[in-house]
Structure 1
């Protein structure tokens, strides 16, 4: 039996002895776009960081295609929150994207013509090829986000994690991200996306995780994106409008 792209068992995380995630268990299916939603402080970003070993876990096991993450790094792509990146670092857009190729090169090989061509192709896919030589500090927020998406593309991973990629971007960048997600799905990739806009969940994702310290629901959107599950996840902070009104969900 083919192993799942991502399997998590009994994962718990705490900050300063305060539980943030408790008893997280799930298997991500292959070739799906999976949204992760929940209220502020629900542990959405923490889940990704704990999975990637960026923060310590109290307990739990994570496997990527049946192996520990440390053995599968090349197969995993990560797009962090834009606010967590030092955009003043002196480098240009092309160099940032080429960083996505380092896992394919090994420690002692420098990127060459092939890697540059791949990086330029990825920049072109997100509409940023004209900015290849531009310092990243000189780019707008939406342009910076596209650069990180291009870097993830250049990595040619099988499993992607994206932490709130739609936050603070313009309409053109949002359209580019949606197109990229569609392309990754067509290639059979698995993508987990921390997301905040409930009104676009049905449009953007196949599967959904509703999270609030524990998993409230996980599965196909048509089964999980229900008023009952949403009220459980968000408590009294949610007002639900009819599905005929574009599934508008307004946080109170």
Structure 2
């Protein structure tokens, strides 16, 4: 039987003894766009970071295509939250994208003309060719996010983790990002996206995880994105208005 892109078994994470994730277990199917949603403090970003070994977990096993992450790094791409990046670091857009190729080069090889060509192709895919020589500190928030997506593309991974890629970007960039995610899916890649805008969930994702310290529900979006399950996840702070085919969601005060 073929291994799944991502399997997590009995993962728990705590910060200063406070549980942030409790007993998380799930398997991700291949070739899907998967949204991870839940209230603030639900553990969404923590889930991605723990899966990648960026923060320690109290318990649990993570496997990428049946093996530990340390053995499968080349297969995994990661787009962190934009606010967690030092944008004043003195480097230009092209160099950031070329960093995505380092896993293919090994420790001692320097990137050459083929790496530069691939990086430029990835910049073109996100509409940033003209900004290759621009310092990353001089880019807008949306442009910075596009650069990080281009770096992930350059990595040519099979499994992608993206932590709130749509936050703080303009409508054109959001459209460019979702187009790109759908292209990755068409190529058979698997993409997990931490997402906050419930209004676009049905449009964007094939599968959905509702998370609030524990997994409330996980599966195909049309089965999971229901008023009952959302109410469970958000603790009664959610009103769902259904007008024909369009669902709108209203968050009330906590």
Q: Could you tell me the TM-score, scaled by structure 2's length? A: 0.98
Question: Secondary structure of the equivalent of 2:235?
Answer: helix
Secondary structure of the corresponding residue to residue 242 of structure 1 = strand
Superposition pairs for residues 1-252 of structure 1, below 5 Å?
A: 1-244=1-244, 246-252=246-252
Give the Å deviation of 1:245.
Answer: 6.2
SS of equivalent residue, structure 1 residue 236: coil
Q: Which 4+ stretches in 1 moved above 3 angstroms?
A: none
Instruction: Measure the CA separation in 1 of the matches of 2:196 and 2:138.
Output: 27
Return the offset for 1:250: 1.9
**Offset of 1:248 from its aligned partner?**
1.1
Distance 1:243 1:15, change over 3 A: farther
Give me the whole-angstrom Cα distance separating, in 2, the residues matched to 1:51 and 1:101.
22
Give the conservation status (yes or no) of the 8 Å contact 1:199–1:246.
Answer: no
Q: Could you report, residue by residue, the CA deviation over 1:128-185 in whole angstroms, capped at 9, with x for unpaired residues?
A: 0000000000000000000000000000000000000000000111011011111000
- Please report how far the alpha carbon of residue 230 of structure 1 lies from its aligned counterpart in structure 2 after TM superposition: 0.3
Give, in angstroms, the shift of residue 246 of structure 1.
2.2
Query: How far has the Cα of 1:243 moved from its partner?
Result: 5.0
1:247 and 1:67 map into 2 onto residues whose CA distance is 40
Once the two structures are superposed, residues 62-99 of structure 1 have per-residue CA deviations (whole angstroms, 9 ceiling, x without a partner) of: 00000000000000000000000000000000000000
Q: Which runs of 5+ in 1 are unaligned?
A: none
Q: Equivalents in 1 of 2:161, 2:65: separation in Å?
A: 15
CA distance in 1, matches of 2:18, 2:243: 37
* Counterpart Cα distance in 2 of 1:246 and 1:79: 30
Structure 2 unaligned runs (5+)?
Answer: none
1:247 deviates by 1.4
1:37-56 Cα offsets, whole Å, 9 max, x none, are 00000000000000000000
Measure the CA separation in 2 of the matches of 1:124 and 1:101. 16
Cα distance in structure 1, aligned partners of 2:93 and 2:99: 10
**Cα deviation digits, residues 200-225 of structure 1 (max 9, x gap):** 00100000000000000000001100
**Distance in 2 separating the partners of 1:75 and 1:62:** 14
Measure the CA separation in 1 of the matches of 2:58 and 2:243: 40
The count of residues paired between Structure 1 and Structure 2 equals: 252
Given the two structures, how large is their TM-score scaled by the length of structure 1? Answer: 0.99
